[in-house]
Structure 1
Amino acid sequence: MTPPPTAASPAVADRTVGAGAAPVVTGIGVIAPNGLGTPQWWDATLRGESGIRMVPGYDSARYPSPLAGVVDGFDAAALLPGRLLPQTDRVTRLALVAADWALRDSGADVSALPDYAAGVATSNATGGFEFTHREVRKLWTKGPQHVSVYESFAWFYAVNTGQISIRHGLRGPGNVIVADQAGGLDTFGQARRMLGKGAALVVSGGVESALDPWGLLSHHSGGRLSGVRDPLRAYLPFDEAAAGHVPGEGGALLVVESAAAAAERGARQVYGQLAGHASTFDPRPGTGRPPGLARAARLAIAQAGLRPDDIDVVFADAAAQPALDDIEAAALEALFGPYGVPVTAPKTLTGRLTGGGPPVDVAAALLSMRDGLIPPTAHVDRPVPRHRLDLVRGEPRAVRVRAALVLARGHGGFNSALVVTGADRRQEEGGTS
């Protein structure tokens, strides 16, 4: 059953959309290893329920790292028209359903919008792995006449954007961002630009799935996977036992609208604003220049019209590589001071979902603002003392969250930062920020 909806240069901050015109999020659709649909995922996250397990369907135990965040119980045939099944990879089926849920949650009638006023911007780093590997196998074992004609597009990074656009008649701008984890936040920067140029609504976010045998091997090639075989100990960012991450599948798609368009149609809910975004690249190794993560965070906070002490929580990138964790912890201490802001990484329950993971963090940040609860970083019980982070662990922390910073990094030096806010802080503070 369909879960019920609920409530590449060293770029600087996107200046197209001013802080006073921040787009708003009106719909959320999440498909994650620990929950199908936003309510199930959010409840599981607050309970500390993990979706990390052995990859099913083949003997993944032979791999050095056999664990992943696996979406369980997803029945595409029950959720999508039959005509779509032969032409789509699992990743696109997940994305189509997440988009359906997000649009339903938003209550937006996209058919009532002017032509070209609604678009799609998604992040994807792997494409349709399972589909294309199946068709290549047919090519070599049965011959070219057995290869599906849909292979021409089902493998492509942009296929999620295209299929969502076609299914919902979103004829405006369409984009795909390929930047590993960082792309999952950069897609919201792209949505901001699209809205700043006249679009009224953008379906934005990311979904990934690359866990077939070749896909899992491709994750291994990055050299950052954990070899620990206990699902509760395999992915431990900021922990003394950190030894790499666990990959996963799934993600989130959000309906992002201009504030004016959402108000004009009487949107039934506004989860929050995409108040500021920035992207940076790390410098070339050997230059002696600092990593770019802290700079991305500063730029995003400044674009939101805020100061670092206005941030109530940070959703960390949480690489679980000791050297990368040190860089992130140092960046957070430089911005906020030692133990200066609550930090969390609920992705310890799902694994790192490549371009799909940061949109899930954005959804978590928005629901933290709604519910006044910061989800914990599960399974971390020996935080690295030198990090001096106020890491939320064990239980959700009750905090009034008005502004959250979400961070993401990608292989190759990509950094991205997004600030989401609730009520307009300038109005609350009498016009100051």
Structure 2
Amino acid sequence: MSARSTAPRVAITGVGVIAPGGTGTEAYWQSLLSGVSSIRELTRFDASRYPCRLAGQIDDDFDTAGLVPARLLPQTDISTRYALVAGHHALSDAGVASGPEAAPDYAMGVVTSTAQGGFDFTHREFRKLWHQGPEYVSVYESFAWFYAVNTGQLSIRHTLRGPSAALVAEQAGGLDAIGHARRTVRRGTPLMLTGGIDSAFDPWGWSSQLAGGLVSTVDDPERAYLPFDDDASGYVPGEGGAMFVLEDLDAALRRGAERIWGEVAGYAATFDPAPGTGRPPGLARAAELALADAGLAPDDVSVVFADGAGVPRLDRAEAAALTALFGPRGVPVTAPKALTGRLCAGGGPADLAAAVLALRDQVVPATGRTVNVPEEYALDLVTGEPREAALSTALVLARGRHGFNSALVITLPRP
């Protein structure tokens, strides 16, 4: 093991999840452990004419349960409502009150990621513009679509006036937001609310997701999204994500934090080289740098939460990166997002939530319906049933379209 950094240690003290299969951290975790798939026919609109009709969809009867004020409903997209609910749960889980009396001004900030913005909201307003005229377009269209809107609404809702930001890197963006929040804590802001949320299940948003050509066209929900499987044929889009409270560990202990879920020990991001250069993708390098940042060696990693694209060439590349770093079958690997779909910017944070729960319960969730892993991948992929294991350190990986790679290392609280 390498020498540990002398930089301030950053703890996760609050977790809030809203994802297919479970609104709330424990409900989400139990859905992963039970192997219940949330992939089904999309019902937000009539998708019968589309080549892909399956999605990891949050229940249509989703209720903000009083956590989003009625005055905000006309001005927020569904993805922002998800972020507000998940953010509330994370702050409550951390035992952190919001409002101007909760902490010194500028002591709490927000960093979020969304890759799709308020798609459903903005496209609804576009339809009004085209069919009824500009006077019918909501004034809230000026910001409800924007990639920074979740950061802004969370900041206003909870009076979090410290350093804040919004990042966009598709599937990798959620981990990037958490990495940036960690950096902000290390620079002196005591507490950050951070994570990623996405949703784009309206006709235009759905079409934009299908346009990339990587979405599975398999009609069977049980076989549509199979990361690292011989029959992998693409992924299934999902919605939702997770929010976290990150704190300076010493400050969290001083205030009597109710729980330390774990430490964000390392983070790194890389970008793939241009096609045709012959240089390897940057995922392995991101993992190496994150481990170096954590002061850990590959042998210290107990489990990897893989990106698991479900696209053969991308699965092959990720398997090669993992075997290069850990050796053939050198570490248990899982991709629980196979049960929920890929949540875009919410995917990495949802995997991080699963990782901290795995460390808590000492069990690795299985990889959906994947059964036949090609021998050439040389992966110790957890399939079928959850696997009990001695877990202390998890590596979470995410890749975004067009070359983004992110890696985050989470550990149990260390002395």
Give TM-score, length-normalised by structure 2: 0.97
Match status 1:46 vs 2:33: yes
Match of 1:61 among 27, 48, 54: 48
SS in structure 2 of the partner of residue 416 of structure 1: strand
2:370 is the counterpart of 1:373:
no
In the alignment, which residue of structure 2 is the partner of 1:251?
241
Report what 2:111 is aligned to: 121
Q: SS of the residue aligned with 1:61?
A: coil
**Paired residues for 1:24-103 under 5 Å:** 24-72=11-59, 73-76=61-64, 78-103=66-91
Q: In structure 2, what is the equivalent of residue 353 of structure 1?
A: 343
Amino acid at match of 2:212: G
Q: Deviations over 1:323-372 (max 9, x none)?
A: 11111000000000000000000000100000001101001110111111
| CA deviation after TM superposition for structure 1 residue 382, in Å | 1.0
Q: In the superposition, relative to structure 1, how do residues 228 and 167 fare at CA in structure 2: closer, same or farther (>3 Å)?
A: same
Is 1:417 paired with 2:407? yes
- Distance in 1 between residues matched to 2:9 and 2:30, nearest whole Å: 28
Say if 2:307 is the partner of 1:320.
no
Task: Find the aligned partners of 1:334 and 1:395 in 2 and give their Cα distance.
Answer: 26
Q: Does residue 161 in structure 1 map to residue 148 in structure 2? A: no
The alpha-carbon deviation at position 61 of structure 1 amounts to: 2.1
What RMSD, in angstroms, separates the aligned Cα atoms of the two structures?
A: 1.2
Structural mapping, 1:26-425, within 5 Å: 26-72=13-59, 73-76=61-64, 78-110=66-98, 111-424=101-414
Gaps of 5+ in 1: 1-16, 428-433
How far apart are 1:113 and its partner, in Å? 1.3
TM norm structure 1: 0.93
Q: Which amino acid in structure 1 is aligned with residue 73 of structure 2?
A: L
- Cα gap change, 1:19 to 1:405, in 2 (>3 Å): farther
| Paired AA for residue 387 in structure 1 | Y
Q: 1:414 to 1:19 in 2, by over 3 A?
A: farther
CA contact (8 A) 2:67 2:84 kept: no
Q: In 1, distance between residues paired with 2:342 and 2:399? A: 11
Cα deviations by residue, 1:269-309 (Å, 9 ceiling, x for unpaired)? 00000000000000001111111000000000011010000
Q: Deviations over 1:108-128 (max 9, x none)?
A: 234331110100000110000
> Which residue is equivalent to 1:7?
none
Count of aligned pairs: 409
* Contact 1:54–1:61 (CA under 8 A) maintained in structure 2: no
Q: Percent identity?
A: 60
Q: Deviations over 1:201-234 (max 9, x none)?
A: 1111101010111111010111110000111100
Task: Tell me if structure 1 keeps the 8 A contact 2:42–2:53.
Answer: yes
Aligned partner letter, 1:242: A
Residue aligned with 2:287, SS = helix
TM-superposed CA distance for 1:60, in Å, is 0.9
Instruction: Describe the SS at the equivalent of 1:62.
Output: coil
Letter of the 1:82 counterpart: A
